[in-house]
Structure 1
């Protein structure tokens, strides 16, 4: 089954529904990446039995980082490669120039080429000048290895799936869990996938007005016993022995992609500093960035746009002040939103059985809540 996922009523509780609210900053209205104005997210989920008899548990997720033509007016971006054990595309140009010029795609490791082609076709359809009167285009694709559950050798994600996800992209609440690129992902031995969260940064103290920082993660990392929720090592209590024994990802190899958006006028250097703080959010959930786990964080501003054809030799731009507490609030927002997005991916995901009988169970959210806060959840956690 091929499915384009759009925002629907949630069936599983989110962490906050059970009293698990990381950090101190308030979330945005939908507590997701799309709380940043102009950002849209779309999923296509591939969840079916292939003609070969092998389960297909994969998909594509796209993020449209800002409104309008991204190629002609490029959002400023900063990249942090935490551990480069990955097969992403387009990152060297982002690191060099500090801009994006296409939507972002997430998929499985062996489908990066298909996603790249889908983004190229999307850019060519809207920009007849590409490759004719101007240069080419730099699509950005991130990946995680979903081969524990998915027939990854089948190369089931095609360029048209990326175009379908772009067509379905919405600024509504982001569907989480085993959707889109997250369909076959596993974190800490449990089914995971896509998670999202946001934070409001009060830039003018006490006024209630400010900027938004939104996060979206593709979570596919972590040792089974290391799962930590609000400082409580719940993985040691919750993880069944069978998960420890059977899950290839119990070794921690897998990867995590963190995408961070803001409507604040930050420059590329500052955005890289914000992206770097995503590592702290991952660590709070129990991630230790293993040798075989590729961790990447990308942050961008919807406010700053760099024209493809500048009007003159000098471009004026504003940036965040770094001689006061404001920049630390953005760091805090990135940490908290990343942490909650990882937990959200686990809380939302349904159990999935995939190739070779591998099974990723759903995290028992109610038990997690009782372990973390037994006063408010007095029923025995055992």
Structure 2
């Protein structure tokens, strides 16, 4: 769902952006040429899906984009990670999905790319597909996702506002004791003598104690039952920018994205697979490292807000066997932020 009348984003609660302004949609799609699409499955036994982050300029005429990877904890199945790290580039859209469906999704993405015009002679290609485990709310062993869902997510990809919460790869995830999901945010930031955009999209599914703008929001205080308190075991973060960074600089940016997890209360549990991929669609001269501090700061702010948005926008989901992940109650969140002086 898109956060609407019944749900809210962090900005809707009156929390400011920090040092740098939000983009027009406050989404990764504020970076020029970035589209996002979802394919979502909700039944009594399945809450799962695919989310696609699509750089539209990637194709037969531009086969790769510079990229960097940061691994906060490597307990995950990030397909394509070693080549991404070795060569510092992505060759395909980045897809997010459920742990045991990741290989079927990767195969479907590969098939999609090989069928594109200009790829007729291609004999090597590195699909990039990340995952988190949605088994608390979904029959993960059925591995229900594949070509149909990949093609649907890619076909649905668009610029503008991004659906958040219990959609796509976030349909069945749990974060910090609440229903988690997909979240996004962006910032406009100076890099050297020019202004650029950095945007983040997250798939939140990790444990810890939620903190919003420095205010603790423990799940045991806000939702019934302990069911989801320790569920959730990973996080995927995708960062895009139009600043013309090289792969080494993007890896530095990705590391800052992982740091942002602690800002919302992640406990970085041993079984958590925490990954960040940062890539650039920019062209032109690579900026000097001395001018990157604002971009690093903006990246952390955007990722932290995206993580919060993923929880604020998510809606309660239940599995037929009894597991329930509850949406965070927004009136209580508003009251606690106001009581702490964060909002009027």
The TM-score with structure 2 as length reference comes to 0.94
Pair 1:350 & 2:300 matched: no
Note the alpha carbon deviations across 1:294-319, whole angstroms, 9 max, x for none. 00000000014xxxxxxxxxxxx621
The match for 2:76 is 86
The match for 2:24 is 29
Q: Which has the larger radius of gyration?
A: 1
CA contact (8 A) 1:78 1:98 kept: yes
What are the ranges of 5 or more consecutive residues in structure 2 without an aligned counterpart? Answer: none
Q: Matched residues in 1 for 2:55 and 2:314: separation?
A: 25
Q: Matched residues in 2 for 1:298 and 1:215: separation?
A: 10
1:118 to 86, 108, 111: 108
Shift of the alpha carbon at 1:17? 0.8
Change (3 A) 1:280 1:302: same
CA contact (8 A) 1:281 1:335 kept: yes
Change (3 A) 1:67 1:367: same
Shift of the alpha carbon at 1:83? 0.4
The match for 1:222 is 207
Q: Matched residues in 1 for 2:97 and 2:286: separation?
A: 33
Change (3 A) 1:162 1:129: closer
Q: Matched residues in 2 for 1:235 and 1:187: separation?
A: 11
CA contact (8 A) 1:18 1:366 kept: no
* 1:180-329 correspondence to structure 2 within 5 Å: 180-203=168-191, 210-223=195-208, 226-235=209-218, 238-240=221-223, 242-243=225-226, 246-247=227-228, 250-251=229-230, 253-304=232-283, 318-323=285-290, 326-329=291-294
CA contact (8 A) 2:136 2:231 kept: no
CA contact (8 A) 2:174 2:232 kept: no
Note the alpha carbon deviations across 1:78-131, whole angstroms, 9 max, x for none. 00011000011001000000111111110000001111122111111114645x
Q: Matched residues in 2 for 1:80 and 1:183: separation?
A: 25
SS at match of 2:225: helix
Q: Matched residues in 1 for 2:29 and 2:98: separation?
A: 23
Shift of the alpha carbon at 1:168? 0.6
SS at match of 2:216: coil
Note the alpha carbon deviations across 1:323-379, whole angstroms, 9 max, x for none. 2xx31101011100000001001110111111421011110122112212225878x
Shift of the alpha carbon at 1:237? 6.8
* Count of residues in correspondence between the two structures: 343
Q: Matched residues in 1 for 2:189 and 2:117: separation?
A: 36
CA contact (8 A) 2:83 2:126 kept: yes
The TM-score with structure 1 as length reference comes to 0.85
Q: Matched residues in 2 for 1:44 and 1:367: separation?
A: 31
Pair 1:19 & 2:2 matched: no
1:366 to 319, 331, 335: 331
SS at match of 1:27: coil
Change (3 A) 1:30 1:164: same
Shift of the alpha carbon at 1:21? 3.0
Change (3 A) 1:139 1:239: same
CA contact (8 A) 1:70 1:102 kept: no
CA contact (8 A) 1:148 1:355 kept: no
The match for 1:334 is 299
Shift of the alpha carbon at 1:20? 2.2
CA contact (8 A) 2:39 2:150 kept: yes
Shift of the alpha carbon at 1:151? 0.9
1:40 to 32, 35, 44: 35
Deviates more, 1:348-357 or 1:184-193: 348-357
Pair 1:63 & 2:53 matched: yes
* 1:88-103 correspondence to structure 2 within 5 Å: 88-103=78-93
Deviates more, 1:258-267 or 1:363-372: 363-372
Shift of the alpha carbon at 1:23? 2.5
SS at match of 1:73: coil
